[in-house]
Structure 1
Amino acid sequence: MMTSLLLYVPLAAPALAALATAVAGWRRATAWAGVTAPALLLTAAVGTAAVTTSGRALTAGGLLRADALTAFMLLVIGAVAVVATWAGVHHVGEELTTGRTTAAAARRYGVLVQAFVATMALAVLADNLGLLWVALEATTIVTAFLVGHRRDRASVEAAWKYVVLCSGGIAVAFLGTVCVYAAARHAGGHGTAALDWTFLIQHAHQLDPAVMRLAAGLIVVGFGTKAGLAPMHAWLPDAHSQAPAPVSALMSGVLLSVAFYAILRCKVIADAALGAGYTRALLLAAALASLAIAALLLISQRDYKRMLAYSSIEHMGLVALGAATGSRLAIAAVLLHILGHGLGKAVLFCGAGRILSVTRTSRIAAVRGLLTEHPALAAAFGLGLVALLGLPPFSLFASELGIARAATAAGLGWAVAAAFGFVLVIFAALARHGATMLLGGPAAHTAATVADPARGIAPLAVGLLACAALGLVLGPLQPLLHAAATLVGAP
């Protein structure tokens, strides 16, 4: 009974923080309650991981279920949300002080961020494909208001584009869910229980192959839209560039991965029903397309927030490449990549928000000499770029190496060669843009417009330390990674 209560904490903690903000408004106490809520979520995730690493699953209320994969995703949500909400305390506080936002807007922001975290937690805790779909649709509704938070022309246009494209993708995923339900009913499922993960996994071999082929294609396209995979990625650069920096951190660092989590869950069922070849082909196509588009668009990118958004497409492409490989080593590397990318991107987007506050511009060419003018902020942003580029000691180095090794061992050497050819182009583009911003003499626009440019660096430092620690030693995370990879990966 007590262990089952662990499943309610990730939902209850953000809900209570949202309620406190709605009642009391954005105050110092409610702002830090917004940080405490994801910290409690992270604590519950650690407890859930301790129970599920042995192979045991937790259930609660007939709707919630957690195994090792769920526990790992809760760790990702909690870790990234702590960094983002902690940075958000300084971000919103400064906007209120300078008059760039109102008390009502700050209250709305605090409520919506906590609702965002809760819906993502619900998505990974759902014991039912239908409930998972509902949770992901709820994230679309909540984040649409966050993307349009500033209510100017650019942010409202980005919010509408996000709603239209992601809702279209979710609608396609709904059709895939209906197909899975039809196949499950023919296999003996009854009512909503026909979409329970346990039933679908146990009866996967009995699902109609023709229906499941259609379902798998629709699900990869539908949830892949929300995960930012090409060619369904068009919403991502606009939404990430217009949302408040902590929200961009949550969207890039967690939301994309939660959407891909849905693909991983469905992949297990589709592979049992159809064999691994079908979903492998779909994911390989999406992976290479994502990497190619990210490489082409990053070369000439002029906006550093959009640059980080296109980098997210690259990393989701690498995640798709590992998932296409499908072995346990590949899935373990994918999960490590998801966590490392989430932490690194949270640091970079929150750092980008600080740079925007200091320089009042998001143009790369207008930001020069950050290392000279604002060394602490530049160091955090520069190290974040090092992590994003997959250089040691950060964890993306180990995860990218693991994905390449696993894919090569699975006979996908040609895909690895193509994928990492695009990665080299992306590496050069990001390094050039980063050097432009960090080095050289200061531009005319870079005079500080805030009292303390180094304010809010602490959460970025914590995120960088966590990312570096994962690259050096996995420690107690290793058994959880192995258990989660066993649930999804082929022997």
Structure 2
Amino acid sequence: MSPDLALHLPAAVPLLAGLLALILPWRVAAWAGVAAAAAILASGITLAAHTTATGHAFGLMRADALTAWMLIVIGSVAVIACWATVAYLDHQNTAGSDGAAPTRRYLVLTQLFLSCMSLAVLADNLGLLWVAVEATTIVTAFLVGHRRTRASVEAAWKYVVLCSVGIAIAFLGTVCVYAASVTAGAHGTTALNWTHLNTHTAGLNPDLIRLAAGLILLGFGTKAGLAPMHSWLPDAHSQAPAPVSALMSGVLLSAAFYAILRYRTITDAVLGPAYTRTLLLIAALASLAVAATLLIAQRDYKRLLAYSSIEHMGLIALAAAFGAKLAMAAALLHILGHGLAKAVAFCTAGHIMHLSASSDIDAVRGLAARHPATATTFGISLIALLGLPPFSLFASEIAIARAGFTTGHGWAVAAAFTLVLIAFAAIARHSTAMLLGSPPPPSPRPAVAGRWRELAPLALGLAAATLLGLTLGPLQPLLDTAATIAGGR
């Protein structure tokens, strides 16, 4: 595959798969979605192999090592989620709770979601980046409310309102950057081109950039699930279909944080790293504190996974705050490892919900004895999310801690990992009760969620997370270059 083709496929192929979902039988359309996700992954790998240090550009789109890494993240998580979608829709249609129109709508919106996220990481123009992230809000709002229950519709509205406020704040930040660029002599779309801004930072107005930095972090941080604008996330993730929750947690949050990283290279060049570092440290520690506190009293296992996402985004923000190359590499590795593990956890939670007809932790006991395959998959995914070896999150968390002490932020490392330990204990307590507790009365639901063909994509995701924890292999040069582009010093 040529780099030019790889640059266009990630946004175009999901659109084609979405159009096919309007005319093909739903099962064929679902597998077409899996193929589209695989195309995104293949494009990321191709760009990683062919992209030079200066990147590969075409019009308003551009790919460098950081773009290629994010496409690999999107593609990897999307393959798991889209593959799991086949089983999800099969369960829904078998139960008679879904019809042809809602199924087709679900498939179309999922592919639009993937197209928008791919466009966001491929955009060279910061205005186009903002449009792509805003488009994900519109598309995913319908996916959050897909089940059309009272709770799911309320969650969708809450998601729309809070994320729209956040994206409006990010728009104001983008306007400030545009004003600073135009004042420095740029014209038209060039004024918001990331490559142009990075090479002309000397003429940018520091006051406008300082205002923009705060607005961008607050705006895109809302979409990334960072405190204090995080409250949409638990409701949306708990009410969305399990594969959609996997995509939202695994890649949507990371795509929003990617936008922060792109802007940060500009603001650091103009203001120095201290200003953004302070903002990121505050957001990181606040997010970890919120997650650790609320995980303790959780009674819903999908919300448990949602608060875990806030915890991990806090760790990624902490690594970005440290700013060293090791820290940025750890943040990017954490993004990929978290995406894989969380996709498996949410999709398995969907299987558990189908079995138990409830998302309450108290309704799920003795899962290991009743459904060992599902329990094993869920348990291993939680072990990965808890940062235990041999999974990649163990390596990335150790690297974040090392980078913090190396850069003189030992106090932040101590505070952050104390909160991580609290979250660890809370998740371990709840999951132990689910997996090993006394079983409830037999469920009237048929025991179909443990079929190996349905667990195959989840096993693939766990295998990838394990392999990343043992060795990066050919991804190591890509990760090093991407960390440098993201601002690693």
Q: Which residue of 2 aligns with 1:59?
A: 57
* Compared CA separation, residues 371 and 405, structure 1 to 2 (3 A): same
- In the TM superposition, what is the alpha-carbon distance from 1:119 to its structure 2 partner? 0.2
* Compared CA separation, residues 270 and 452, structure 1 to 2 (3 A): closer
Residue 148 of structure 1 contacts residue 155 of structure 1 at CA under 8 Å; is this kept in 2? Answer: yes
Residue 25 of structure 1 contacts residue 104 of structure 1 at CA under 8 Å; is this kept in 2? Answer: no
* Cα deviation code 1:101-154 (max 9, x no counterpart): 111110000000000000000000001100000000000000000000011110
SS where residue 449 of structure 1 aligns? coil
- Distance, in Å, in 1 between the alignment partners of 2:461 and 2:414 is 31
- Distance, in Å, in 2 between the alignment partners of 1:489 and 1:214 is 20
- In the TM superposition, what is the alpha-carbon distance from 1:224 to its structure 2 partner? 0.1
Structure 1, 13-22 or 443-452: larger mean CA deviation:
443-452
- Distance, in Å, in 1 between the alignment partners of 2:182 and 2:96 is 57
Q: Which residue of 1 aligns with 2:13?
A: 13
SS where residue 65 of structure 1 aligns? strand
* Compared CA separation, residues 264 and 433, structure 1 to 2 (3 A): same
Q: Which residue of 2 aligns with 1:41?
A: 40
Amino acid at match of 1:457: L
SS where residue 72 of structure 1 aligns? helix
- Distance, in Å, in 2 between the alignment partners of 1:464 and 1:114 is 24
- In the TM superposition, what is the alpha-carbon distance from 1:55 to its structure 2 partner? 1.1
Q: For 1:307-346, what aligned pairs fall within 5 Å after superposition?
A: 307-346=304-343
Which of 460, 463, 467 aligns to 2:461? It is 463
Q: For 1:365-376, what aligned pairs fall within 5 Å after superposition?
A: 365-376=362-373
- In the TM superposition, what is the alpha-carbon distance from 1:2 to its structure 2 partner? 3.7
- Distance, in Å, in 2 between the alignment partners of 1:387 and 1:224 is 25
Q: Which residue of 2 aligns with 1:214?
A: 211
Q: For 1:325-474, what aligned pairs fall within 5 Å after superposition?
A: 325-444=322-441, 446=443, 448-454=445-451, 456-474=454-472
- Distance, in Å, in 1 between the alignment partners of 2:211 and 2:54 is 32
- Distance, in Å, in 2 between the alignment partners of 1:298 and 1:451 is 30
Q: Does 1:74 align with 2:71?
A: yes
* Cα deviation code 1:247-284 (max 9, x no counterpart): 00000000000000000000000000000000000000
- Distance, in Å, in 2 between the alignment partners of 1:487 and 1:198 is 11
Scaled by the length of structure 1, the TM-score of the pair is 0.98
- Distance, in Å, in 2 between the alignment partners of 1:447 and 1:410 is 56
SS where residue 23 of structure 2 aligns? helix
Q: Which residue of 2 aligns with 1:3?
A: 3
- Distance, in Å, in 2 between the alignment partners of 1:452 and 1:150 is 19
Q: Does 1:22 align with 2:19?
A: no
Runs of 4+ aligned residues of structure 1 deviating over 6 Å after TM superposition are none
- Distance, in Å, in 1 between the alignment partners of 2:347 and 2:428 is 19
* Compared CA separation, residues 237 and 131, structure 1 to 2 (3 A): same
- In the TM superposition, what is the alpha-carbon distance from 1:453 to its structure 2 partner? 3.1
Amino acid at match of 1:132: L
- In the TM superposition, what is the alpha-carbon distance from 1:363 to its structure 2 partner? 0.6
* Cα deviation code 1:431-457 (max 9, x no counterpart): 000101000321125454344533511
Which of 277, 284, 291 aligns to 2:274? It is 277
Amino acid at match of 1:55: A
- Distance, in Å, in 1 between the alignment partners of 2:87 and 2:100 is 15
Amino acid at match of 2:7: L
Residue 374 of structure 1 contacts residue 454 of structure 1 at CA under 8 Å; is this kept in 2? Answer: no
Scaled by the length of structure 2, the TM-score of the pair is 0.98
SS where residue 440 of structure 2 aligns? coil
Amino acid at match of 2:250: G
- In the TM superposition, what is the alpha-carbon distance from 1:30 to its structure 2 partner? 1.3
Residue 368 of structure 1 contacts residue 446 of structure 1 at CA under 8 Å; is this kept in 2? Answer: no
* Compared CA separation, residues 354 and 452, structure 1 to 2 (3 A): closer
* Cα deviation code 1:142-183 (max 9, x no counterpart): 000000001111000000000000000000000000000000
Which consecutive unaligned segments of at least 5 residues does structure 2 have?
none
Amino acid at match of 2:28: A
- Distance, in Å, in 2 between the alignment partners of 1:405 and 1:335 is 15
- Distance, in Å, in 1 between the alignment partners of 2:333 and 2:449 is 35
Residue 393 of structure 1 contacts residue 471 of structure 1 at CA under 8 Å; is this kept in 2? Answer: yes
- Distance, in Å, in 1 between the alignment partners of 2:479 and 2:399 is 13
Q: For 1:268-307, what aligned pairs fall within 5 Å after superposition?
A: 268-307=265-304
